[in-house]
């Protein structure tokens, strides 16, 4: 059942995040068909990062325990946000080094430029996903647990 929770959470969060960002793109553009294009591009680009984040969330969420459900939710959201930010930082460093061909790509200016080119547009989606993953994982696990009985 954990695998089913993991897969369903990934798909639901990726679809909701991509759909929301596609609506935002449509509101900012006058081109026809850009919404579908935006949805497909964001869905494809965010699937693997969301998949890895949901996996790490499912591993680490049991270490977050609180009697207050709001404290627990915001702690889990912080965990997801931390995982996503670390992933963005590692991706920026990796791309900057590969583009420059050496460790000179770790200069702050080059890292900032690489972040602005590659990842700056995904920040709203990362924030949305960080709030969606704990809620969706809890909802999916509740539904699958009730179906298992």
Tell me what the mean pLDDT of segment 23-29 comes to: 87
pTM for the complete prediction?
0.85
Give the pLDDT confidence score for residue 111 in this predicted structure: 86
> 76-125: per-residue pLDDT in tens?
999 999 999 999 998 888 888 888 777 777 888 888 888 888 888 888 88
| 81-104 CB burial, b ≥16 within 10 A, e <16 | bebbeebbeebbbebbbeeeeeee
Task: Tell whether the torsion through CA atoms of 116, 16, 144 and 78 is positive or negative.
Answer: positive
Place of tokens 């693997």: 48
- What's the confidence (pLDDT) of residue 56? 93
């Amino acid at each position: 059942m954990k695998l089913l929770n993991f897969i369903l959470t990934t798909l639901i969060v990726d679809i909701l995040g991509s759909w929301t960002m596609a609506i935002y793109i449509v509101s900012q553009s006058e081109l026809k068909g850009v919404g579908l294009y935006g949805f497909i591009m964001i869905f494809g680009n965010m699937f693997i990062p969301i998949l890895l984040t949901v996996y790490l969330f499912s591993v680490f969420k049991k270490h977050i325990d609180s009697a207050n459900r709001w404290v627990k939710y915001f702690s889990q959201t912080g965990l997801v946000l931390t995982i996503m930010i670390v992933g963005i930082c590692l991706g920026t460093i990796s791309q900057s080094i590969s583009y420059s061909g050496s460790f000179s790509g770790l200069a702050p200016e080059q890292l900032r430029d690489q972040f602005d080119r590659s990842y700056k547009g995904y920040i709203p989606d990362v924030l949305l996903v960080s709030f969606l993953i704990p809620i969706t994982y809890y909802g999916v696990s509740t539904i699958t647990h009730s179906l298992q009985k």
